[in-house]
């Protein structure tokens, strides 16, 4: 069976296999004042890791086209929108800041009916007499001339009417006794609050430093950092007990340094650690693996010196290189006043004043501060040992 070959003339988009002049997946791009790394966006948003291939195909096959970039950017924006909305909703929900509309309840209107009762006997007599007059009028109307020719003697005999005096009137209601006046009880005066003793303040462990030429210098080891945050991280990692660096394994609950956790999971629990797809080197984090790949295999150097046009991968390398052009020497010896450009040279020089001779000769008891002095001693006095 014949095998098909795939000839790639231009860049290949790893997301749709289109060919053209595309952007690198690992190279940072700026869109609307925001730096985007498309390989990181694929991993964080869609949980897809696209590894580069080694060899000549690494550069031309590790790209992405503009159409896929637009779709990936929309997916990342939508994911962030959903996360922000959900976080805001749950925050308001737990604060009881969300209220719903309650249905309006219908209240039935009650009609008040007032019944007037006679206040005296004369009023009751008037009511009874008025009723009797009305009855007489009805009887008179009913007892008029009719077609049957009945006389008054033929009509039925009505019972005698009772006199008004014999009618019983309703007794007046007895007045209700008035309720005794309510005496308001005075509240007792509030008890004086006990003065709470102030809690002892926790001792804050802050790094000790001094500011020299706009840089933060550690008072313990004299190392310099650009910002206070960098100095604080250095102080925690070098001059404390290091408990903040410990991490707990989720499988066996064993505590260890955070940089050794990935290697522990692979060696003990068979959980693969982040590995480079080119040289198979493993790393403690995915971020360090990506930096290694960009620096070692893709030879990515985006920072260029404006003086000599030399390119660098990281900002630290460019800053160190700029000292060659500025000729600044920030490290000054307090004993002899000699200045140095690099910290390591200053530390080696200061060992001369402290008489710290760590380089020892294996042939005799001679000791030296610098390795160059030891090499010169071996070449002059022990040439057979070379």
333, 339 contact by CB (below 8 A)? yes
What is the pLDDT at residue 200? 58
What is the pLDDT at residue 183? 59
Bigger pLDDT: 342 vs 116: 342
The two tokens of residue 48 are 């897809």
What is the pLDDT at residue 143? 45
284, 258 contact by CB (below 8 A)? yes
Average pLDDT value for residue range 293-303: 87
What percent of the chain lies above the pLDDT cut of 70?
Answer: 70
Q: CA angle 280-284-286, nearest 5°?
A: 75
* Residue 198: pLDDT band with limits 50, 70, 90: low
What is the pLDDT at residue 177? 66
| CB atoms near residue 117 (< 10 Å) | 9
* Residue 157: pLDDT band with limits 50, 70, 90: low
State which of 36-45, 117-126, 323-332, 340-349 shows the largest mean pLDDT. Answer: 36-45
The Cα-based distances of 246 to 74, 129, 154 in angstroms read 38, 108, 125
Question: Is pLDDT of 156 > 70?
Answer: no
The two tokens of residue 148 are 């049957």
Q: What is the b/e burial string over 323-344, where b = at least 16 CB atoms within 10 angstroms of the residue's CB?
A: eeeeeeebbeeeeeeeebeeee
* Residue 274: pLDDT band with limits 50, 70, 90: very high
CA distance 187 to 276: 78
8, 59 contact by CB (below 8 A)? no
What is the pLDDT at residue 273? 92
Place of tokens 């530390």: 347
What is the pLDDT at residue 321? 85
Kindly report the pTM of this predicted structure.
Answer: 0.32
Bigger pLDDT: 252 vs 1: 252
What's the mean pLDDT when you consider all of the chain? 76
The two tokens of residue 248 are 């707990």
What is the pLDDT at residue 267? 92
Question: Is pLDDT of 121 > 70?
Answer: no
All domains of the chain, ordered by start, with CATH? 11-94 (3.40.1800.20)
Bigger pLDDT: 226 vs 110: 226
* Residue 283: pLDDT band with limits 50, 70, 90: very high
């Amino acid at each position: 069976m014949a095998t098909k070959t795939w000839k790639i003339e231009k860049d290949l988009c790893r997301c749709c296999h289109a060919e053209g002049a595309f952007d690198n997946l690992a190279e940072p791009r700026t869109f609307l004042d925001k730096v985007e790394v498309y390989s990181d966006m694929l991993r964080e948003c869609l949980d897809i890791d696209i590894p580069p291939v080694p060899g000549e195909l690494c550069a031309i096959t590790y790209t992405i086209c503009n159409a896929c970039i637009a779709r990936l950017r929309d997916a990342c924006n939508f994911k962030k929108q959903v996360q922000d909305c959900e976080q805001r909703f749950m925050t308001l929900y737990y604060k009881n800041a969300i209220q719903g509309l309650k249905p309006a309840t219908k209240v039935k209107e009650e009609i008040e009916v007032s019944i007037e009762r006679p206040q005296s006997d004369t009023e009751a007599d008037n009511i009874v007499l008025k009723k009797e007059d009305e009855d007489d009028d009805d009887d008179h109307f009913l007892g008029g001339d009719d077609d049957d020719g009945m006389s008054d003697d033929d009509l039925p005999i009505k019972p005698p009417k009772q006199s008004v005096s014999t009618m019983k009137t309703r007794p007046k209601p007895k007045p209700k006794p008035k309720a005794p006046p309510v005496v308001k009880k005075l509240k007792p005066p509030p008890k004086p609050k006990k003065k709470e003793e102030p809690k002892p303040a926790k001792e804050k462990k802050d790094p000790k430093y001094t500011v020299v030429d706009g840089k933060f210098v550690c008072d313990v080891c004299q190392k310099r950092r650009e910002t206070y945050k960098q100095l604080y991280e250095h102080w925690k990692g070098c001059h404390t007990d290091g408990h903040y660096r410990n991490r707990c394994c989720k499988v066996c609950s064993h505590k260890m340094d955070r940089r050794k956790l990935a290697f522990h999971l692979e060696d003990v629990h068979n959980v693969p650690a982040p590995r480079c797809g080119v040289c198979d080197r493993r790393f403690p984090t995915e971020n360090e693996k990506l930096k290694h790949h960009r620096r070692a295999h893709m030879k990515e150097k985006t920072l260029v010196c404006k003086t000599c046009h030399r390119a660098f991968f990281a900002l630290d390398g460019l800053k160190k290189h700029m000292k060659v052009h500025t000729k600044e020497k920030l490290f000054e010896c307090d004993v002899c006043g000699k200045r140095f450009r690099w910290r390591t040279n200053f530390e080696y020089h200061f060992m001369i004043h402290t008489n710290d001779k760590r380089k020892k000769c294996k042939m005799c008891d001679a000791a030296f501060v610098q390795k160059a002095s030891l090499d010169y001693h071996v070449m002059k006095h022990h040439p057979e040992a070379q």
